[in-house]
A and B are shown apart, each in its own frame.
Chain A
Amino acid sequence: MAIRRGRGVAAINYPTGMNLGGDPTQALVHSTPTGNFMVTLSSVDLGQGMKQIMAQICAETIGVPTDRVVVDTADTDTGPHCMGTFASRGTHRAGNAVIQAAREARQVMLEVAAEELEVNASDLETDGQGKILVKGAPQKSISIFDVALSAHFKRGRSISGRGMFLIPRSYPEKETGAMKPSTCYAHACTVAEVEVDDETGEVTVLTVKNVFEIGRALNPKMVEQQLVGGSWMGISHALYETTEPYYPNRDHGGTDFNQYLMPGPGDLAETEIIVLERPSADGPYGAKGPGEMCANPQIPAVANAVFDAVGVRIDTLPITPERILRALKAQAAN
């Protein structure tokens, strides 16, 4: 009887957005009288930080600092339609809608600035700090604060824009299955290292090294929180979780966090996250949706590591100590 060590690898891809498309999201952007920008949506922030990302996307597109942007979302009286936050679609779909709306608003903003500066709008650029400058003559400039005041009180212009993003729906061909499930895919490769106690069947995940390709890390800190959380969830899925521990008997399913088994902080592996960026052709600033993908590769990587450690295959999730011990027993009997 011994503690045995093993490692396993898994490589995966994952589609961004609703399978087969047909899932619209719309956005509205407008400026306040003093040049702050409101993004209006009906998308839902599940805790992953959607509001923050939409603010950064709007700020980048208009050319202002992120703290000049406020996101008002998830009120059906004010926000235009969003299909919802699921299918790794939030950033991709809503982000594209926000870019389109912000571009339209930016164009009006530059037109008003051009009138104030008596130049062509096409000769203007933003400095990203709150000013609009004449290209090549940066001493000639106007603040976005003043442009907004002018638009509201002098020029009678609405600095605003409408945006929408929709991947046309694909209908699978009945006999061949020819279809377009998605327009872009995120990728991952995970290597997990485990120890298995062949006396108790207990698995300890020592390290998980995840490489994720996500198109573009729009906010690296928020990418990290999502990818680390996903990696933990993958380990939990692989080794711990079931709502039916005695299936096919449906009794005695967990009803609280004491009974429903999940790893605690002490059970979590040393987690490494490495991010690659191959911008997607239709992603907002190249972003893909890694929200679901990041919890998947750990499961087979851990399963393969368990085999590498003790030489038995557990092909049913979760990989419990009981299943490992039964497999070891069967292996010894053979």
Chain B
Amino acid sequence: MELRKNYFADVRKDDLHEIGQPRPRSDSPGHVTGKTAFFADRTFPGMLHLKMVRSPHHHARIRSIDTSEAEKHPGVVKILTAKDVPHNVYTILILIQVGPEDETVLADGKVRWKGEAVVAVLAETERAAQEAAAKVKVDYEVLPAVFDMEEALKPGAPLVNEYHGQNYYLYDSGECRKVRFGDVEAGFAGADHVLEQSYQSSPIEHAPTETTGCVVTPEGNDRFTCYTNTQAMFFTLDNTSIILQMPGSKLHFVGGTVGGGFGGKVDVIVEPIAILGAKLTGRPVCFIYSREEEMQISSPRAAEKVVIKDGVMKDGRIVARKVTGYTDAGAYSRHSPYGAQKGAGHYPGPYTIPNVWIDTYCVYTNRTPSSAMRGFGVTIGDFALEVQMDKLARLIGMDPLEFRFINAYRDGDMKAHRQPTEGAALIECMQEASRAANWPVAEKYLAMSSYVKGA
């Protein structure tokens, strides 16, 4: 790695003692010698193991659940169903007033994706819990499922989630978050070229080294200590308090040493049910995702579709950009309404465009619920935007890097969401990339600056 101190030297003082120094990480020796304690290193006498009975169907009505055989299985201590969960229908962003509550801790009457948790089994050993889970009999009436966002948005599509009433998230702005800036149709009408393209992505897995999980122990003072690898301590504690209808003062969360998160550990999935199990049995409980659960049950990055329509001039100026973004939330909201909205604030990318129209939709399907993942709301948008930029440059016969200099945002430029640009540095990054990659651009672009418009 190289630090290029010649850029922005006039706005930066390099007079610090500890900051800017490559001090060795104090936790590294523990990590590399195996001495660091992770949550799963805690074991307690009498600890129970929790395993889930999961839906084999993408969408089905539950006619009945029969746990009688499973209860007789040696080692089984407790079996939990929806009726055992005090506040079973929840949504995590309710803490920042983003509702409605739309997801069940344990399925109640219906499943909406393949893998959804239906029954929790607590047993003396992991094996006993797994074997007993296989003996739970659930009678399903399979319902039509929808796996495609465009299909889900069509009239007559199967309704995925009754708590929403339609297959998209309803923002205060309507069926999508909107940004309107300038007159995009006039921009297209006056453009030398108009290019509309569509981009798509697949769900991907966070793939942390350490799978999601927690260990819970009931304390002598009627409190519960939860050792967890959540990415957000109080966010998880407060949601657990709501789901279990238990005062937050009864809950003590300990964490902060995590083997990779990447957004996969902010969904509040394992803690509430494990604490409930500890409460109802009076025994310590561990609930740790297998690698299979981590990869196929834990929320992935959302599949997205991005449609971009641009009006561009022969001289390289983009004069209008219309973006329609679709985020596939799967069956439940989790963090997806937030992610889709983040996209609306991100488009049209780091470029100054006078006419912009943005709609971003959060769509429900019967796919695995998606949620937070490194860059969500932006990552796929950037893929789409930057491939589109390449196509536009080639369309007008311009070098792709020079084309970006022409449109790059600079300090003071008004963004589509009506904030003036501050602290821009795109131009300088591109100048340095031109040098480092030996990708020559015209001298006038190397003379540009983010500081002053028209420099």
* Inter-subunit contact A243/B203 (CB<8 Å): yes
A65 at the interface (CB under 8 A from B): yes
> CA separation between A75 and B228, bound complex, in Å?
10
Stretch in A107-115, A116-124, A145-153, A181-189 with 4+ CB within 8 Å of B: A181-189
In the complex, which residues of chain A have a beta carbon less than 8 angstroms from the beta carbon of B205?
241, 243, 254, 260
Most buried by A among B198, B205, B252: B205
List B contacts of A188 (CB < 8 A): 429
The reply to whether A56 and B21 form a contact with Cβ atoms under 8 Å apart is yes
Question: Which residue of A44, A285, A295 contacts B19 across the interface (Cβ within 8 Å)?
Answer: A285
B401 / chain A contacts, CB cutoff of 8 Å: 9
B4 touches A276 (CB 8 A): yes
Instruction: Write out the residue numbers on chain B whose beta carbons fall within 8 Å of the beta carbon of A278.
Output: 7-8, 11-12, 423, 425, 428, 450
Give the distance to chain B from A225, nearest Cβ to Cβ, in Å. Answer: 9
- A35-60 vs B, CB cutoff 8 Å, 1 = contact: the mask equals 00000001111110101100111011
A182 to chain B, nearest CB (A): 8
Are the C-beta atoms of B383 and A11 separated by less than 8 Å? no
Q: Does B178 contact A (CB under 8 A)?
A: yes
| Residues on A with beta carbons closer than 8 Å to the beta carbon of B380 | 317
Please name all residues of chain B whose beta carbon is closer than 8 Å to the beta carbon of A55 when the two chains form the complex.
26
B57 to chain A minimum Cβ distance, whole angstroms, is: 11
Residue-wise interface mask of B (251-273) relative to A, using a CB-CB cutoff of 8 A (1 in contact, 0 not): 11111111111110010000000
**For chain B, which range describes its interface: under 10, 10 to 19, 20 to 34, or 35 or more residues?**
35 or more
Establish whether residues A77 and B23, one from each chain, have CB atoms under 8 Å apart when the complex forms. no
Bound: A16/B235 CA distance, A: 19
Question: A residues 298-319 with Cβ under 8 Å of B?
Answer: 299-301, 303-304, 307, 313, 315-318
Q: Which residues from A are CB-within-8-Å of B416?
A: 177
Bound: A211/B230 CA distance, A: 31
- The answer to whether B350 and A46 have CB atoms under 8 Å apart is no
A76 at the interface (CB under 8 A from B): yes
Given contacts A86-B231, A189-B430, A277-B12, contact A243 B300 (CB under 8 A): yes
Task: Report if B377 contacts A (CB, 8 A).
Answer: yes
The answer, yes or no, to whether A163 is at the interface (CB within 8 Å) is: no
Q: Mark A260-277, 1 if CB is under 8 A from B, else 0.
A: 101000000000111111
| Residues from chain B with Cβ under 8 Å of A75 in the complex | 252-256
A331 at the interface (CB under 8 A from B): no
The answer to whether residues A242 and B204 also contact, given A181-B417, A279-B11 and a CB cut-off of 8 A, is yes
A-facing residues in B135-149 (Cβ within 8 Å)? 147-148
Would you call B177 and A185 a contact (CB within 8 A)?
A: no
Q: How far is the CA of A78 from the CA of B111 in the complex (A)?
A: 39
Chain A residue at smallest Cβ distance from B200: A316
CA distance in complex: A297, B375 (Å): 11
A75-88 interface mask toward B, CB cutoff 8 Å, 1 = contact, 0 = none?
Answer: 11101011111100
Does B2 lie within 8 Å of A275, measured CB to CB? yes
A8 at the interface (CB under 8 A from B): yes
Which A residues lie within 8 Å of B303 (CB)? 244, 247
Stretch among B74-82, B117-125, B158-166, B290-298 lining the A interface = B290-298
| Set B177, B233, B430: member contacting A177, Cβ < 8 A | B177
**Contact of B256 with A45 in the complex, beta carbons under 8 Å:** yes
Let me know if A223 is at the binding interface, CB within 8 A: yes
| Docked complex Cα distance between A115 and B430 (Å) | 54
Task: Give chain B residues whose Cβ lies under 8 Å from the Cβ of A165.
Answer: none
Which A residues touch B5, using CB under 8 A?
277
Stretch at the interface among A133-141, A154-162, A197-205, A286-294: A286-294
CB distance from B350 to the nearest CB of A (A): 4
**A44 lies within 8 A of B255 (CB):** yes
Per a CB cutoff under 8 Å, which of A42, A211, A255 touches B429? A211
Name A90's closest neighbour in chain B (CB-CB): B231
A51 adjacent to B26 (CB under 8 Å) = yes
| Cα(A318)–Cα(B303), bound, Å | 11
Whether A11 and B386, one on each chain, are in contact in the complex, defined by CB atoms closer than 8 angstroms, is: yes
Q: Kindly identify, within residues 278 to 316 of chain B, every residue whose CB is under 8 Å from any CB belonging to chain A.
A: 291-292, 295-296, 300, 303
Q: Is the CB of A52 within 8 A of B26?
A: yes
Is B355 in the interface zone, CB < 8 Å from A?
A: no
B187 at the interface (CB under 8 A from A): no
Known: A9-B400, A191-B439, A313-B391. A44 touches B232 (CB 8 A): yes
Query: In the bound complex, do residue A220 and residue B3 qualify as a contact, i.e. CB atoms below 8 Å apart?
Result: yes
What is the CA–CA distance of A250 and B114 in the complex, to the nearest angstrom? 9
Given A75-B254, A211-B436, A301-B386, verify A82-B233 contact (CB < 8 Å): yes
13 contacts between A and B (CB under 8 A): A10-B389, A11-B404, A43-B233, A45-B258, A60-B19, A65-B18, A74-B257, A188-B429, A221-B22, A273-B2, A296-B378, A316-B199, A316-B200
Given contact pairs A177-B358, A216-B20, a sample of 15 additional A-B residue pairs in the complex whose CB atoms are under 8 Å apart: A8-B400, A13-B409, A13-B426, A19-B342, A44-B232, A47-B261, A56-B18, A59-B18, A76-B253, A82-B234, A128-B18, A176-B181, A177-B417, A253-B296, A278-B425
